[in-house]
Each structure stands twice: as structure tokens, then as C-alpha cells.
Amino acid sequence: MSRLVMKFGGTSVANIERIRNVARHVERERKAGNNIAVVVSAMSGKTNELVGWCEQASALYDRREYDAVVASGEQVTAGLLAIVLQDMGIPARSWQGWQIPIQTSDSHGSARIAHINAAAILEAFEARAEVAVVAGFQGIHQETGRIATLGRGGSDTSAVAIAAAIGADRCDIYTDVDGVYTTDPRIVPKARRLDRVAFEEMLEMASLGAKVLQVRSVELAMVHKVKTFVRSSFDDPRDPKAGTLICDEEDIVEQQVVTGIAFSRDEAQITLRQVADHPGVAAAIFIPLAEANINVDMIIQVASENSGVTDMTFTVSAADFERAKSILHKAQPQIGFTSLTGATDVVKISAIGVGMRSHAGVAALAFKALAEKGINIRAITTSEIKFSVLIEAAYTELAVRTLHSLYGLDKA
Amino acid sequence: MSRLVMKFGGTSVANIERIRNVARHVERERKAGNNIAVVVSAMSGKTNELVGWCEQASALYDRREYDAVVASGEQVTAGLLAIVLQDMGIPARSWQGWQIPIQTSDSHGSARIAHINAAAILEAFEARAEVAVVAGFQGIHQETGRIATLGRGGSDTSAVAIAAAIGADRCDIYTDVDGVYTTDPRIVPKARRLDRVAFEEMLEMASLGAKVLQVRSVELAMVHKVKTFVRSSFDDPRDPKAGTLICDEEDIVEQQVVTGIAFSRDEAQITLRQVADHPGVAAAIFIPLAEANINVDMIIQVASENSGVTDMTFTVSAADFERAKSILHKAQPQIGFTSLTGATDVVKISAIGVGMRSHAGVAALAFKALAEKGINIRAITTSEIKFSVLIEAAYTELAVRTLHSLYGLDKA
């Protein structure tokens, strides 16, 4: 019998009726001859409620206690789905992270999965043809025996990790959209669902703002070569539609140069004027930020020749903006800038495609097209399979539509 | 340092503000020099919500899954209280049942505590003067590794069991009333708070309808001689009032004959007419009920002399009424009754007091007083320290007030 992991997010398990619908999807796959592990999120709204209580309890809450509180949401869903499956005559039991166990690092609140012992689940498959219903988002730190959670969206990561651990043939991520699109259809009505996306592309898309999968789940899928299928949980369980398969590059026959356009509004721009242009000044700026766990993304340095000073512009996530400014002000004596300006009305637009590796000048086309629309580019970064531009937020829709058309992604 | 267990029920932890109030009670006791284990219930309403989902999921839910779902309520409160205590500068951590572990039997939904390993909590006391915040109502069945709950009100039992395991000097049960009363003050405004109640009396009161403590918690307190103090969580934490101490009989100086009047509306009466009066007929009636886990309480047999038949009247809990009738109808051929009648508009009124052991005729006074008020007694049971009468429910208040006055329990 083949093995399948099925993951359902919060909106798919929002109430008992929806959980019953999830069970019908499981029933279909079981009848098709699969041994199944189902990974579930908390019922929608529950995690926010639990997080809210922790924040009310203390602004500086102990992350170990936070984890013990918020992990309960997924435990509830897992138990309820097991009951519903049994009610339909399907043998099932729930598994909490510590029961399997799913061993994690001790970085509570954003723990990484270190190891999964799949023996108990495989034994339940072999001995009782039992569906394993696994509480997502959580594991246990082996040394302390305390519950650790994987960060928001962590149930995707749980699903892929379990798929790798049990050697699943496929990992199906059921969500409230029916797959991965060339861009956000709310912005570009001509956006198309992709039949297949390469792991590398999906990783960039997720990192650059596409919200369909947690970034770490895609990393894991890529490392362990877990074929991951994104599909809709609101399809008729008897007749589900197609979704998007995330797979190896070589499994994609007809590769586009650009596969998708992603964008992220979660950006903030910081500019330091008249920084002394000498070796070590970049370290003086970026080391204090790194020590505060603030990721710096795009960096531009504009030096006036022979002036001895330079302007430094870079981006951080909007959530880190205030903290970054305060750190830089404290470090002003060491850095020596004359002024610090910032902006949060910026957006990062990215084009992704493994085809860029073999095609030169892909980004240059974009710079020209955006200029023709009067869109000013504030910063640029590129890598082997993507490029990103930072622009004023007001131009988001125009820029996304322009690039979507430019690279031939509009619907036929 | 002395050791103290403090238990807080659902209304005492209903929101973060109330949890903060709980933390102030803990702070006071800690400053007084105690090492403290706090046992908490789920936030009020949460357990009902979780139970409701299980019932919606399946009328015949798997009790192991039910336990996994409902135990989450207490886990949330434990984490939140630990965060609040830390916020006040008090070292604290939460403990779920499986983390301690609290080992239980496998009778999921109404498990019994088999053993508690107190080593980790004691180590936290010694090494870090840390408050242990324990999720009530739950443990783990050691062989299966699955979560088991102790039944409604089970957090009282968790508290007393932990008090016994850590050798606590006292177990304080904080609740929404300020102690144990001579009877329900809503029915008898002259009811008095008792300063002290003997274990045996409290056990009878809890069994006979007083809702202040779970019956099993009192059994455990009696067996392990845990001094248990019932008090109000709504007192000013800086200046708490008195409550009721449940303690050994010999610690009560001035013992009343009757300590309290309890009543239970959760009763149903069944009468079988013209049962053949021969050996074995009682077994034919009561064994099928026992096999269905239906407890029979009061039993009266009225035989007409030399008629060869007898009428049997007995009571079961109202929840078991329909099931009991259906079982008896099925067993009619073996029992041989001519008719079965039942009533749920009945109430059991009980008077409790260890003083009854040394005073004769205590119950007879009651029969006379009730008869004078025109109250018909349908059944009577007595034991060493209590007697109960079954009467028509409409007379509940009148009967309770009559007995409360009769035995001198009215306020001075």
C-alpha cells in the first residue's frame, strides 16, 4: 500500500461540519488504497485567541509557556477528526507531537524539527490500517520534555516532515485556494493556476511573499524530495479538482522563463546619509542589526566619488523597522552618519523562474517596462532564479500586472 | 519551608484579569514562606465547548479522543498562569499531566489516579523555589501513553492527590463560595458556614448532593489525611477571609449531632408491582442494572403477607432512568412483575453528622417533623452518620428548612 500525508489548514477544520468534509477526503484516499497520516491545524481563530491570551498575560511571555498554550489548538482538532473518522467506520487515532514523538530544537515559538520517530505510526498502518491524525505545528524538545511549536504556518512543515519520515509517496496540502498561481488573482484576474512548480521556484515564491506555504516546509520538501501537492479543501470530496504539484525541476516538461510574480508589502526601507566611506563601516551598520536578529535584505551603497562619504540604503521587514532605527541611532557614534530616514510605504516585487538560469537579460526587460510606466525603482536584488525590485507601494498593482504580462503569464 | 497546594476552579480563572487575581493569592502564600503547587481548571465555559464539539463529532465518541480534546482546557490555563506569575517576578512553570507524570487507570473519561511521581516538582521547589502550575483533571495512562481525564470536577481530585504526593501541609480549594454551608443558602437563608467538617461528613455531603467538592477528592483527602481548606477565590488576596477546614474528626472540638442538610434532585424512582417473592428475584432485578453500570440507591420491598408477591421500589440517578426502564422491560420474563411505574419528580433529602453515631433516634425526629408538615416519605436509607428520605420534589424547600431548624443549624 502506498503512503499519503494529507494536511488541512485552519479554515478547512473551522467547525465540525468542515471536519466531516475533511474526513470524506480522507475516506476517498483510503478507499484508493493509501495508508494515511493526516496533519491538522487549529480551528480557524483559535490560535489567535490563544496568542491573544498570552500577550494579555505578559508582554514578555515565556516562550515555553506560550508553546504549551498555543499547541493545544491543534491537539483539539486532531482528537475531533479522529472521532469523526471513527464515526464513519474508519479506524483512526490522534497523535500529539510528544506522543510520536516529533523531536525539535529548543527555540520555542519557532522550533525546528530535529527528528521524527515514525515507528508508532507505521505500526498503526501495518497492524490496524489505522489513520494517524497528527496535531500539526508542534513537537517536543527531548532534553527538557517541553512542548515546542514551529511558528505560524508550522503545520505545513509538520506535514512535509512526517511525509519524509514515513516515506510517503506524496504530501497533499489542502488549503483555501486550489493551487499555486502565477501571481495573486485578487490583483491580476488573468493569473493562472500552475500545474507544476519546481521546489526552488516555490521556495523563492514563499520567501518573497506568496503565502500559500510556509517557507520551511518547502525547504524540507526540497531536501527530502517530497512531492507536495497544493489543492483545495473545498472541492467535492468525491470529485476533487486539480491543484499544483511542487516537484523536481526535471519533472517539469515545459519550463517557462518566469513562473510567477510575487510581492511583499512587509518591507521597510532605511537610508543612512553621508556615512564615512571606509573599510569596516558596513560591519558597524550590519553587525548590531544581526545581533538583534534583524534580517537585512536589499542593500545599495551610493558613493559620491572622492567625497569620502557614501549613502547606504537597505530594507528590513516592517515588523523590525522601529527596532532597527533605534539600534542604528544608538550606534551612530560608531557609524558616523548625518541623518537616518525611513519609509514603510514600499513594496518588493519579485519575478521567479528556474528558466532565468539559461536566459540572460530577463531582469533588464523588467527595468525597462517599469520605467515606461513611470515606476521608480529604489533597490534591486537578483539571484540565479529570481530578481526583486523595491518600489513605492502605491504602484504595487500596476507593477505586478506589468511584469505578469511582460513574461507571458496572462491567461490565454 | 512548608508545602501548600492551591486549587482554582473555572470561574476563578475565567479570564486574564481573574488569573492575575489568582496569582496574587499565590504571591501572598509564597511570601508567607510556602513552596507552592497550584492546580487549575479550564477557563469557565471552555470544557463545555470542548465536550460539545466531541458530541457533535459523534454521539458515540471514543473516550480516549474525548480525553485528548477536553484535557486541553486545563493545559491552556496552566500556561497562562505560569506566564502571569513570571510577569510578577515569581519563578513558575506549567506541568501537564503527562509531564509530571500523573499516572492513571485506563478508564478514560473517569480515570483514577494510580500514582504521582512528585520528584520533578520537589526538585523545582528545592533548586529554583519555583511555583509548579499543574493542569488539573488529567493524567496519562502509562502503558498506552494516552491522556486520561478524571471526570467533571476532577481538578479537586488532582489537587488533593498532588498534596498527598508532595506531602503538603494543606490543600486549599479556592472556589466561588467561601466554604461549606450547613445547607444551600439559596434555599435556607439562615444557613451557616461551617468552620470545620470531618472528612466522613464531607464525603457524605458530597455524595448526597452538595456540589462544593468532587466526591473522589474527599475520599482521597480522607485516606491520605490531607487537610483540605475550602475558601473563596474572590476574597481580597491581601486579606482573605475564613473558609471551611475539612479535617479529622478529632480535630473538631465541638461536634454537632447533625452538621448539614444535603439534597439531590438527580433522582428517579422505579416501582415494580407484584414481583414473585422468592429467593433470587432481587438478583434478577439488580444484576442486569449493575452490568449496565447503573447504580441503585434506595431499595424498599413491601410484601403482602402470604400473597407470594411483593412490590419493589428503588431509585437510580435521573440520567440512568430511561436506560434502567428499558433494561427492566427486557428482563420482565425473568423477573415476572405485572407493571413498572416510574417518577422523576422526586428529591432525596439527607442529614449528615458524625454525632449520629452516639445519638439514637436522630432520624426518627425527622420522620415526625416531616409528617407534621404533611410531607409523605417514599423511601428511607440510613447509615452510621447520615439518613436520607425520598420525597416529592415540590416539598424540597419545605423539607430542607424543616430539618435545618429541627437540628439547630439556623443562624443565631
What single string gives the DSSP state of each residue in A233-265? Answer: TTS-TTS----EEEE-GGG-SS--S--EEEEE-
- Whose cell is 417533623? That residue is B369
Per the CB < 8 Å rule, is B79 touching A98?
no
Exposure b/e, A138-151, CB count within 10 A at least 16 = b: bbbbbeeebbbbbe
SS3 A171: strand
Per the CB < 8 Å rule, is A75 touching B68?
yes
Structural domains counted in chain A: 2
* Identity at B248, one-letter amino acid code: D
Low-confidence ranges of chain A (pLDDT < 70): 412
Interface test with B, best of A72, A87, A146 (most B CBs within 10 A): A72
Exposure b/e, A96-108, CB count within 10 A at least 16 = b: bbbbbbbbbeeeb
CATH number for the domain harbouring residue B54: 3.40.1160.10
Q: Among partner residues B65, B75, B98, which is closest to A94 by beta-carbon distance?
A: B65
Minimal C-alpha gap between B409 and chain A (Å): 44
- Same domain, yes or no: B23 and B168: yes
Cα–Cα dist B211/B403, whole Å: 19
Backbone torsion region of residue A281, taken as left when φ is above 0, otherwise alpha when ψ lies between -120 and 50, otherwise beta: alpha
Looking at residue B36, the DSSP 8-state letter turns out to be: E
Looking at A228, A251, A274, the residue that finishes a domain is A251
Minimal C-alpha gap between B167 and chain A (Å): 25
ipTM of this predicted structure: 0.84
- Same domain, yes or no: B206 and B284: no
Per the CB < 8 A criterion, the answer to whether B131 and B115 are in contact is no
pLDDT at B278: 81
Minimal C-alpha gap between B240 and chain A (Å): 24
Per the CB < 8 A criterion, the answer to whether A126 and A192 are in contact is no
- Same domain, yes or no: A130 and A179: yes
User: Inter-axis angle of helices B46-57 and B63-70, to 10 degrees?
Assistant: 150
- Same domain, yes or no: B270 and B237: no
CB atoms within 10 A of CB B214: 23
Instruction: Annotate B159-215 with DSSP letters as a single string.
Output: HHHHHHHHT-SEEEEEESSSS-BSS-TTT-TT--B-SEEEHHHHHHHHHTT--SS-H
Interface test with A, best of B21, B24, B46, B80 (most A CBs within 10 A): B80
Per the CB < 8 Å rule, is A79 touching B93?
no
Per the CB < 8 A criterion, the answer to whether B79 and A65 are in contact is yes
Cα–Cα dist A113/B226, whole Å: 44
Please, which residues have CB within 8 angstroms of residue A129's CB and are 6 or more apart in sequence? A35, A91
Q: Among partner residues A68, A75, A84, which is closest to B57 by beta-carbon distance?
A: A84
* Identity at B99, one-letter amino acid code: Q
Q: Looking at the DSSP assignment, which residues form a beta bridge with residue B264?
A: B348
- Whose cell is 434506595? That residue is B298
Minimal C-alpha gap between A233 and chain B (Å): 19
Cα–Cα dist A133/B138, whole Å: 21
pLDDT at A260: 95
Looking at A227, A251, A275, the residue that finishes a domain is A251
Per the CB < 8 Å rule, is B16 touching A87?
no
Cα–Cα dist B308/B302, whole Å: 11
Contacts of A90 in chain B (CB under 8 A): none
Set of cell numbers at residue B304: 403482602
CA angle, B112 then B118 then B123, to 5°: 160
Interface test with B, best of A76, A93, A117 (most B CBs within 10 A): A76
Interface test with A, best of B83, B100, B137 (most A CBs within 10 A): B83
- Same domain, yes or no: B290 and B176: no
Polymer length of chain A: 412
Interface test with B, best of A40, A65, A84, A142 (most B CBs within 10 A): A65
Name the burial class of residue B256, with classes exposed (0-12), middle (13-18) and buried (19+) by CB atoms within 10 angstroms of its CB. middle
- Same domain, yes or no: B183 and B319: no
Residue-range definition of the domain harbouring residue B302: 255-412
Per the CB < 8 Å rule, is B66 touching A60?
no
The dihedral through the CA atoms of A168, A134, B105, B35 has a sign that is positive
Radius of gyration of chain B (CA): 23
Looking at A208, A236, A251, the residue that finishes a domain is A251
- Same domain, yes or no: B247 and B282: no
Q: What are phi and psi of A252, to 5 degrees?
A: -110, 115
CATH number for the domain harbouring residue A388: 3.30.2130.10
- Same domain, yes or no: B155 and B243: yes
- Same domain, yes or no: B181 and B328: no
- Same domain, yes or no: B33 and B130: yes
Per the CB < 8 Å rule, is A79 touching B65?
yes
Radius of gyration of chain A (CA): 23
Per the CB < 8 A criterion, the answer to whether A73 and A47 are in contact is yes
pLDDT averaged per 10 residues, chain B (length 412): 96 97 97 97 96 95 96 98 98 98 94 96 97 98 95 92 97 94 94 94 90 90 96 91 93 87 94 86 89 88 78 92 95 92 95 90 92 92 91 96 95 68
pLDDT at B80: 98
The dihedral through the CA atoms of A122, A128, A129, A130 has a sign that is negative
Per the CB < 8 Å rule, is A99 touching B145?
yes
Per the CB < 8 Å rule, is A96 touching B68?
yes
Please, which residues have CB within 8 angstroms of residue A325's CB and are 6 or more apart in sequence? A270, A340, A342
> Which chain B residues touch A if contact means CB-CB below 8 Å?
16, 19, 50, 53-54, 56-58, 60-62, 64-66, 68-69, 72, 75-76, 78-80, 82-84, 86-87, 93-94, 96, 98-99, 145-147
Q: How far is CA B304 from CA A295, B272, B277, B311, B379, in A?
A: 92, 14, 10, 8, 17
Per the CB < 8 Å rule, is B79 touching A68?
yes
Contacts of B50 in chain A (CB under 8 A): 76
Please, which residues have CB within 8 angstroms of residue A20's CB and are 6 or more apart in sequence? A84
- Same domain, yes or no: B151 and B289: no
Per the CB < 8 Å rule, is B58 touching A82?
no
Minimal C-alpha gap between B329 and chain A (Å): 29
Per the CB < 8 Å rule, is B19 touching A57?
yes
Cα–Cα dist B391/B265, whole Å: 10
Task: Say how many CA atoms lie within 13 Å of B220 toward its Cβ.
Answer: 23
Instruction: Annotate A191-218 with DSSP letters as a single string.
Output: --B-SEEEHHHHHHHHHTT--SS-HHHH
- Whose cell is 492546580? That residue is B39
> Which chain A residues touch B if contact means CB-CB below 8 Å?
16, 19, 50, 53-54, 56-58, 60-62, 64-66, 68-69, 72, 75-76, 78-80, 82-84, 86-87, 93-94, 96, 98-99, 145-147
- Same domain, yes or no: A306 and A241: no
Per the CB < 8 Å rule, is A54 touching B79?
yes
Per the CB < 8 A criterion, the answer to whether A75 and A111 are in contact is no
Set of cell numbers at residue B157: 481530585
CA angle, A187 then A192 then A194, to 5°: 125
Per the CB < 8 A criterion, the answer to whether A151 and A110 are in contact is yes
pLDDT at A412: 63
Interface test with A, best of B72, B108, B123, B130 (most A CBs within 10 A): B72
Minimal C-alpha gap between A171 and chain B (Å): 25
Per the CB < 8 Å rule, is A83 touching B145?
no
